[in-house]
Structure 1
Amino acid sequence: MSALVDAWHHRPTHRQVWALAVPMILSNLTVPLVALVDSAVAGHLPQTQDLGAVAIGSAVYALPVWSLGFLRMGTTGFAAQALGANDMTALRTVQWQALMLAVLFGLAVGALMYPLLPWLIAQMHSTPLQTTRSMDYLHLRLLGLPGALLNYALAGWFIGAQRARTTLSLLLVTNLINIALNLLFVLGLGWGVQGIALASVAGEWCGSLYGLWAARRAVHGLAGHVDWAALRQFSHWRPLLSVNRDIFIRTLALEAVFFSVSLLGARIGDSTVAANALLLNGLMLTAFGLDGLANAVEALCGHAIGARDPLALRRALVVAGGWSLIGSIGYALLFVFAGHEFVNLQTNLSEVREAAYPYLPWLAALPVVAVWSYLLDGLFIGATRGSDMRNAMLVSVIAFFFTAWLARGLGNHGLWMAFIAFMLVRGVSLGWASWKIHRRGAWTTASAVNF
C-alpha cells in the first residue's frame, strides 16, 4: 500500500499524465461531439426514420472502422516502446508500417463492404423507409473509409511518440470540419441524411491530409532513418501483425456487442433503437473522455516498458487510475442530475424522449463500471500484449450474451443489464490478467519488448 501512496504523490508523473491526457481528452471529446451533432441534426428532421437511419447506418459503418482499430492501438504500443528505448529508426519505421497497412486495408475493406450492405441492413429488421435512407447514408459514408483508417494510423503513432498536441490538431481538423459541414449541408442546404454522410466523408479526408503533413514534420528533426531493408522482410512485420491480429479479434468481439445492442433494440421498435442510440452517445461521451487518461497510460507505460523501468510503470498506472476514478464519478453524477436534459438536447421527438428516460439509471451506472476496462486497455496496448486483451474480451462477450439470454423477458431493461455485465466482466478479466503478469515480474522484462 505504501508503494501505491508513494506513486500517487509523485508530482512529475501527475504532470506527465496531464500533459498527455488533456490534449487527448479534448481531442477524444470531439468524436462523441460529432455523434451528438449527427443525432441532433437528424433528430430535428421531420420523421423518426431519419434519426433511426443515421443510428443504423452509423452502427453498420462502425463495423469496418472499429474492427480495424488495431491500426491505432497496435501502432501506439510499438511507437511508445521505441521511444522509451531511444530507437529513432524503429520509431520512423513503425510510422511507415502503420501508414502502409492503413492504405491497404482502406482500399480492400471498402471494396468488400459495398456488396454486403443490403444484407447488413436487413439484419436490423427496420422499416422500408428507414432501410432506404440507411443505404443512402452508407453508400456515401464508405467513401471516407481510407481516410478514416489513415487517421487511425497517424493518431496511434502521434500518441506513442508522446505528441498529444498533434493528435489533438488531427482530430480537431477532422471533426470540426465534419460538424461545420453537417450544419451547412443539412440545416442550410436541406440535404437530409445524405448531407450528414457527406460531411463525415469530407472531414475524414481533410484530417488525413493534415495528418500526413504533420507526420512528415514530426520526423524531420529525428535521428535515425526508415529501415527499408527490414520492411521488405516478413520477420520484421511479424510482431506488429501478431499484435494487430489479436487486437482485431478483440475489436470484432467488442463490435459484436455494440452491433447486437443496436440490432436487438431495432427489433423492439423504431423508438427504442433511436432512444438507445441517444443513450449510447452518453456512453461514448464518457468513454472518449476517460480514454484520454487511458491514452496517457498507453504512452507512458509503453515508454516505461521500452526503457525497462518498473517504477515509472507503477507511477503512471496509479496516477492515471486515481484520476480515472474521479472522472468516472463525475460522469455518473452528470447523468443522474442532467440525464433528461442530455436526451432533450439531442431530439425534440416526444416518443423518442419518453422511450429513453426510463433507461437513464443504466447510463449513470456505466461510467463507474466501465472505467477500469478503459484504464487497463491502455496498459495492455502500451505493453503490446494483444493476446491478453483478446482473451479478456472473449470472456466478456460470453457474459454479455449469457446475461442477455437470461434477461430476455425484460425487454430493453434486460438488454441494458447485459451491457452492464459485459463492461463489468471486461474490467475484472483485464485486472486478473494484469495481476498474473505482475506476479511473474514480466511487465518490463525483455520478452515484453516486441519492436
Structure 2
Amino acid sequence: MNAPAVKSRLPAVLHTPDGSRRVDYRAVVGIAWPLFVQFGVQAFLNVVDTWFVGRLGSAPIAGMNAVNFSSFTLLLLFGGSGIAVQTIAAQRYGEGRKARAAQASWHGIYSGLIVAPLGVAVALAGPAIFSFFALPPEVVASASDYWLPRMAGAGLVVVYFSLGNFFNGVGRTRVSLMGAVLTFLCNVVLNWLFILELGWGMYGAGLATSISVGAGVLFYAVIFFSRHIRSEYATTRMWRLRPRILGAVYKLGVPIGIHAMFDVGAFAAFQLMVGKLGAVPGAATQIAMILTSLAFLPVAGLNFAAATLVGQSIGAGDKDWADRVGTACIKLALCYMAVWALLFATAGGALSSIFVTASDPNAQAVVELSATLLLIAAGYQLFDALNLGTLGCLRGSGDVVVPTAALLVLAWCIFVPLSHILIFEPGQGWFDFLPAYGLGAKGGWIAALVHITLLGSFLLYRWKSGAWRKLKSA
C-alpha cells in the first residue's frame, strides 16, 4: 500500500504548509453531525413517546419505565451484529474494498432473519417476565401491552441497524439521518393515531414504534439498492451467504451485543427496582431517564462517528491517526455533555413538568422527585461522555472484549447490587441477605453516579493505554 493512497483515505486530516498533520474538526463535525442529530432525533422520539403515554396517567408512565430499558436490553443484544456492520464496513472502506462493506451489511441482514422468530417468542412471554419481578398489577399490565408489539419487531430492528450502519461505516451519515427522521415522523403520527384516536394505549405505543422501524428499513433498502449505491458498492452482487463473513460479523457483534445487554440490562434492573416502589418513583425515574437521554443519545451519535473515523483510519493503515481523530471525538463529547450537566442542575423541575398533566394527583410529587434525580444525574454527565466517546473509539478499533468484561464487573457486581442496597428498605427488596438503606429512587441514581464514574474512567484508560493497537483488523 503506497503512502499517497493511504493519505487519500485518511479521514478528517488537514495537512499544514510545514508538512505536519492536524485533526480537521470541520471534517469530524461533517461526519458526526448527521449521527449526532440522528441520535438526537431518537432522544426526542423517546420524549414524544413519554409525552403521549403521559396523557394516560402516571401508572402507564411507570409501566413504560419498567419496559423501556428491558426491551432495549434484548433489542441491543439481538442487534449487536447489526452494530458490528459499522466497524467492518468502515475498515473495508478504509482499505478501498467497497463491495466488501456491502457484503457485511448483507450478513447483518441475515442475522436479523435469524433473530425474528426469537423476538416473537420473547414477545409472547411478556406477562410472565414482568410478573416475576413483583411489580404492581397496573404496571405489569401497561408494560406487557407495550412489550408484545415491540419485541415482535426485533428482527426488523437488527435489519434496521445493519442497513443504517452500512451507511455510517462508509461515511454516508446523512442517509442514516434521513432514515432516523422518517422513522421519527412515522412514530409521531402513529402514536397520535393509535394512542389518542384509537385508544390502544401502551399496545398502540409499542406497535407504532415497530411499524416506524419497518418504514425506516424500507427507506434504507431503497437507497441501498439505488443505482448510484449499487454501482459503487455492488450491493446487488454481494448477497450470497458466506459462513466466514457471518462468523466475522458474529465474532465482533456478539461481544457488542453482550456489552449492550450488560449495560442497558443493568439499568433495566435498576428501573424494575424503582418500579417496585410504586407509580410516583417509577414515573419520576422514567421522566429523568428520558431527559438524560437528550444528553447521552446525541453523544451516542458521536460514539458511532468515532467508530467510523477510527475504523477508516485503521483500514488505511494509520493507527497513530486513529488515536488522534478518536481523541478529538471524545473532546467534543465532553463539551456537549458539560452543557447538559449545567442544565440538569439548574432547571430539572421545569423540564420535568412538561411530562405530567394537571389532572394527575401525583403530578407535583413526580416533578419534585424527578428534579432531585436530575440533580444527581448532573454529577455524572462528563463521565458518561468519556464512557460513550471512548467506547466508540474502541469499537472502531475492534477492541470489544475487554470493555465488555469490565462492564460486566462494574454493572453487575457493583451497580446492580449497590442499587438494591440503596433503594430498598429492609424486607422490601428481592434479596433479603443484602443490606438495605431505604433511600428509594434517589439511592438508585446515586448508584448510577458511582457506576458511570468508574466505567468512564476505565474506558478512557483503556483507550489511552494503546492496547487496541495490537489487534488485527476486523
Output the TM-score relative to the length of structure 2. 0.86
Q: Is 1:365 the equivalent of 2:374?
A: no
Deviation at residue 329 of structure 1 after TM alignment: 0.7
Q: Is 1:262 the equivalent of 2:275?
A: no
| Distance (Å, rounded) in 2 between the aligned partners of 1:301 and 1:59 | 29
The residue that corresponds to 2:204 in the other structure is 195
**Where do residues 208-247 of structure 1 align in structure 2 (5 Å cutoff)?**
208-217=217-226, 219-222=229-232, 226=237, 231-232=241-242, 234-247=243-256
CA 1:433–1:59: 2 relative to 1, 3 Å: closer
Deviation at residue 162 of structure 1 after TM alignment: 0.6
Deviation at residue 292 of structure 1 after TM alignment: 2.1
Which ranges in structure 2 are unaligned for 5 or more consecutive residues?
A: 1-13, 358-362, 423-435
Q: Is 1:101 the equivalent of 2:111?
A: yes
Deviation at residue 352 of structure 1 after TM alignment: 1.9
The residue that corresponds to 2:82 in the other structure is 72
Which amino acid letter does the alignment assign opposite residue 389 of structure 1?
P
Which amino acid letter does the alignment assign opposite residue 404 of structure 1?
S
Structure 1, 251-260 or 66-75: larger mean CA deviation: 66-75
Residue 418 of structure 2: SS of its match in structure 1?
helix
Residue 125 of structure 2: SS of its match in structure 1?
helix
Which ranges in structure 1 are unaligned for 5 or more consecutive residues?
A: 1-5
Residue 310 of structure 2: which of 301, 305, 312 is its match?
301
Structure 1, 85-94 or 426-435: larger mean CA deviation: 426-435
Q: Is 1:383 the equivalent of 2:397?
A: yes
Q: Is 1:182 the equivalent of 2:191?
A: yes
CA 1:210–1:406: 2 relative to 1, 3 Å: same
CA distances 1:305-364 after superposition (whole Å, capped 9, x unpaired): 111113421331232122211111111112122211210111222332233222221122
Deviation at residue 184 of structure 1 after TM alignment: 3.0
| Distance (Å, rounded) in 1 between the aligned partners of 2:352 and 2:233 | 51
Q: Is 1:341 the equivalent of 2:350?
A: yes
CA 1:110–1:401: 2 relative to 1, 3 Å: closer
Deviation at residue 290 of structure 1 after TM alignment: 1.3
The residue that corresponds to 2:459 in the other structure is 430
Contact 1:339 1:360 in 2 (8 A): yes
Deviation at residue 10 of structure 1 after TM alignment: 6.3
Deviation at residue 285 of structure 1 after TM alignment: 1.4
The residue that corresponds to 1:351 in the other structure is 365
Q: Is 1:82 the equivalent of 2:82?
A: no
Which amino acid letter does the alignment assign opposite residue 356 of structure 2?
T
| Distance (Å, rounded) in 1 between the aligned partners of 2:220 and 2:177 | 11
Contact 2:91 2:312 in 1 (8 A): yes
| Distance (Å, rounded) in 2 between the aligned partners of 1:207 and 1:33 | 16
| Distance (Å, rounded) in 2 between the aligned partners of 1:12 and 1:437 | 19
Deviation at residue 12 of structure 1 after TM alignment: 5.6
Contact 2:35 2:304 in 1 (8 A): yes
Deviation at residue 241 of structure 1 after TM alignment: 1.5
The residue that corresponds to 1:411 in the other structure is 440
| Distance (Å, rounded) in 2 between the aligned partners of 1:56 and 1:38 | 14
Deviation at residue 402 of structure 1 after TM alignment: 4.6
Deviation at residue 223 of structure 1 after TM alignment: 5.4
CA 1:150–1:239: 2 relative to 1, 3 Å: closer
Q: Is 1:448 the equivalent of 2:472?
A: yes
| Distance (Å, rounded) in 2 between the aligned partners of 1:252 and 1:186 | 29
| Distance (Å, rounded) in 2 between the aligned partners of 1:69 and 1:241 | 10
CA RMSD across the alignment: 2.4
Q: Is 1:15 the equivalent of 2:10?
A: no
| Distance (Å, rounded) in 1 between the aligned partners of 2:350 and 2:264 | 28
- Percent of aligned pairs with the same residue? 21
Which amino acid letter does the alignment assign opposite residue 448 of structure 2?
F
Greater relative CO (CA pairs within 8 A, separation 6+): 1
Deviation at residue 111 of structure 1 after TM alignment: 2.6
Q: Is 1:329 the equivalent of 2:329?
A: no
| Distance (Å, rounded) in 2 between the aligned partners of 1:70 and 1:239 | 12
**Where do residues 137-148 of structure 1 align in structure 2 (5 Å cutoff)?**
137-148=146-157
The residue that corresponds to 1:3 in the other structure is none
Residue 134 of structure 2: SS of its match in structure 1?
coil
| Distance (Å, rounded) in 1 between the aligned partners of 2:393 and 2:350 | 35
The residue that corresponds to 2:166 in the other structure is 157
Output the TM-score relative to the length of structure 1. 0.90
| Distance (Å, rounded) in 2 between the aligned partners of 1:174 and 1:392 | 34
Deviation at residue 394 of structure 1 after TM alignment: 1.5
The residue that corresponds to 1:121 in the other structure is 130
Higher helix share: 1
Residue 25 of structure 1: which of 36, 44, 58 is its match?
36
Which amino acid letter does the alignment assign opposite residue 103 of structure 2?
T
Residue 50 of structure 2: which of 39, 49, 63 is its match?
39
Structure 1, 17-26 or 191-200: larger mean CA deviation: 191-200
The residue that corresponds to 1:274 in the other structure is 283
CA 1:344–1:223: 2 relative to 1, 3 Å: closer
| Distance (Å, rounded) in 2 between the aligned partners of 1:59 and 1:436 | 32
| Distance (Å, rounded) in 2 between the aligned partners of 1:43 and 1:436 | 46
Contact 1:24 1:164 in 2 (8 A): yes
Contact 2:108 2:158 in 1 (8 A): no
Which amino acid letter does the alignment assign opposite residue 84 of structure 2?
G
CA distances 1:101-120 after superposition (whole Å, capped 9, x unpaired): 11221x13213203421221
| Distance (Å, rounded) in 1 between the aligned partners of 2:189 and 2:234 | 40
Contact 2:102 2:166 in 1 (8 A): no
Deviation at residue 169 of structure 1 after TM alignment: 0.8
| Distance (Å, rounded) in 2 between the aligned partners of 1:118 and 1:41 | 23
Deviation at residue 224 of structure 1 after TM alignment: 5.7
The residue that corresponds to 1:59 in the other structure is 69
The residue that corresponds to 2:144 in the other structure is 135
Residue 135 of structure 2: SS of its match in structure 1?
coil
Contact 2:68 2:268 in 1 (8 A): no
